[in-house]
Amino acid sequence: GDSVTQTEGPVTLSEGTSLTVNCSYETKQYPTLFWYVQYPGEGPQLLFKVPKANEKGSNRGFEATYNKEATSFHLQKASVQESDSAVYYCALSAPPNTGKLTFGDGTVLTVKP
């Protein structure tokens, strides 16, 4: 079946430093890839999605490129802020596109001022 593997946490950074959360996936199909973010006490919310290989998604300073050859979708941000502290999930949806999302285990990010 489909699977997603991402950087194990927790990750602790200082404000202003750069972030990379690795994500690799396995599927026999051609997936749509997602990054979701979950703040304490809330449900996950979509950060962005990328449906096509070699395209980049971005939102709120975060970005990731769908690398089909490497089956990767790493999340990056050049300069993190304390408000970015959250859990980040990489996910995929593959044909027959029932709407089912396969999630990674999540990466807990803490940004210290």
Partner 1 sequence: EAAVTQSPRSKVAVTGGKVTLSCHQTNNHDYMYWYRQDTGHGLRLIHYSYVADSTEKGDIPDGYKASRPSQENFSLILELASLSQTAVYFCASSVDKYEQYFGPGTRLTVL
Nearer residue to partner 1 within complex by CB, 41 or 113? 41
Query: Which two tokens mark 65?
Result: 């490129």
**7 belongs to the binding site for partner 1 (CB under 8 A):** no
31 binds partner 1 (CB under 8 A): no
Closer residue to partner 1 (CB): 69 or 98: 98
**Residues 54-83 close enough to bind partner 1 by CB under 8 A:** none
Among 22, 27, 101, 110, binds partner 1 (CB under 8 A): 101
Cα–Cα distance for residue pair 68/84, rounded to 1 Å: 27
Q: Does 18 bind partner 1 (CB under 8 A)?
A: no
Q: Does 24 bind partner 1 (CB under 8 A)?
A: no
E runs forming strands in 1-113? 3-6, 11-14, 19-21, 23-26, 32-38, 45-50, 56-59, 62-65, 75-77, 86-93, 102-103, 107-112
